[in-house]
Amino acid sequence: MLLRHTIPALTACATLVLLPAAGAQAAPMDTKVTVKAAPGKKAVPFCETHKCIALTFDDGPSDNTTKLLATLKKYKAKATFFVMGSRVKKHPVLTKNIVKGGHELGNHTWSHPWLTDLTPAEIYKEINETQKLIKKTTGKTPTLFRAPGGLTDDDVNAVVAKLKLAQIPGTVATKDYVKDYRDVAFLTTAALEAAGKNAVVLMHETVKETVDSMPKVLSTLAKEGYYFVTVSKLLEGQTLVPGESYPKNETGELDDDDDFSGPAGEV
Ligand SMILES: [Zn+2]
């Protein structure tokens, strides 16, 4: 029998958000009002009726986390951080601050190895030790996983399923792992071009230029009516099968030519 976990849709109330008029300056979340759903009627997941985007930041916590959290707060944006166990161990306060900011933590292994080079026991240890430390540090057990370099195989998928994690490879990337692309203006353009409704954008908080691109990216996308949500919020209402990859929707999977490789422990 397949193990399943579900990101439940809100059943008690729905959130109706009034989109700003074209060109309006106000951040969308400022105009939120809450309405009750009709009794017995299931609320519609937020992102079915709103223009959502999930920004994701890998490889932290890092020296850039505090600055990134401040920027996200300024624009009322929520994001998902795929953190490494070894860095959670080094930066427990930053890890807690991510959660305090209302963001989501996902598992990105302990030491960022290419999992396809490891034995099932080694893969299990990389992911499980990270799960345990995130739980110990924040009180929360991640439900989402992203493989370093996007590298998975049947062994990886089996371990991820056993640990009841859904895989989130991302649907688009700014490719900030390419050293030549590490320029604020370039990465700003890359993020704006990658943006789309229900996109999961893969970026790295360890890339300073990515963090420095966020004010312009967030302000521009907010004016376009985007809501910045966590991956779980984006997938709300869907039943996630552990081990499988999400989102499974019109945004599709990553392009085959997307290569997220980088040196272990880096991006
Ligand atoms: Zn990574």
How does pLDDT run across 194-215, given as a tens digit for each residue? 999 999 999 999 999 999 999 9
Residue 4 has pLDDT above 80, yes or no: no
Find the 266 Cα to ligand 1 centroid distance in Å.
7
Q: What does the pLDDT read at residue 248?
A: 86
What are the structure tokens assigned to 174, written together? Answer: 């700014």
Report residue 36's pLDDT band, with 50, 70 and 90 as the boundaries: low
Report residue 38's pLDDT band, with 50, 70 and 90 as the boundaries: low
Q: What does the pLDDT read at residue 22?
A: 38
Residue 25 has pLDDT above 50, yes or no: no
Find the 58 Cα to ligand 1 centroid distance in Å.
5
Report residue 264's pLDDT band, with 50, 70 and 90 as the boundaries: very low
What are the structure tokens assigned to 36, written together? Answer: 């009750």
Please pick, among 108, 176, 204, 212, the residue that the annotation labels catalytic: 204
How does pLDDT run across 44-75, given as a tens digit for each residue? 999 999 999 999 999 999 999 999 999 999 99
Find the 203 Cα to ligand 1 centroid distance in Å.
9
Residue 12 has pLDDT above 80, yes or no: no
What is the C-alpha to C-alpha distance for residues 234 and 252, in angstroms, rounded to an integer?
14
Report residue 220's pLDDT band, with 50, 70 and 90 as the boundaries: very high
Residue 101 has pLDDT above 50, yes or no: yes
Q: Which residue from 83, 79, 136 is spatially nearest to 103, judged by alpha carbons?
A: 79
Residue 261 has pLDDT above 80, yes or no: no
What is the C-alpha to C-alpha distance for residues 166 and 247, in angstroms, rounded to an integer?
10
Q: What does the pLDDT read at residue 42?
A: 73
Find the 211 Cα to ligand 1 centroid distance in Å.
15
Annotation: CATH topology of 5-240: TIM Barrel (3.20.20)
Please pick, among 50, 58, 59, 212, the residue that the annotation labels catalytic: 58
Query: In sequence order, what DSSP letters do the residues of 96-144 get, joined into one string?
Result: HHHHHTT-EEEE--SS---GGGS-HHHHHHHHHHHHHHHHHHHS----E
Reduced 3-state DSSP string for 151-218: CCCHHHHHHHHHCCCEECCCCEECCCCCHHHCCHHHHHHHHHHHCCCCCEEEEECCCHHHHHHHHHHH
The model carries a pTM of 0.81
Find the 83 Cα to ligand 1 centroid distance in Å.
8
Q: What does the pLDDT read at residue 27?
A: 41
Residue 107 has pLDDT above 60, yes or no: yes
Residue 204 is among the residues annotated as catalytic for this protein: yes
Q: What does the pLDDT read at residue 246?
A: 97
Q: What does the pLDDT read at residue 83?
A: 98
Find the 55 Cα to ligand 1 centroid distance in Å.
14
Residue 91 is among the residues annotated as catalytic for this protein: no
Find the 108 Cα to ligand 1 centroid distance in Å.
7
Please compute the mean of the pLDDT values over residues 183-198 and round it to a whole number: 97
What are the structure tokens assigned to 24, written together? Answer: 């309006």
Find the 258 Cα to ligand 1 centroid distance in Å.
14
Q: What does the pLDDT read at residue 62?
A: 98
Percentage helix, strand, coil for the chain under 3-state DSSP, each rounded to 5:
40, 15, 45
Q: Which residues pair with 148 in a beta bridge?
A: none
Q: What does the pLDDT read at residue 128?
A: 98
Give the residue extent of every domain in the chain: 5-240
If residue 56 lies in a helix (H) or strand (E), which one and from where to where?
A: strand 52-58
| pLDDT > 70: percent of the chain | 78
How does pLDDT run across 228-240, given as a tens digit for each residue? 999 999 999 999 9
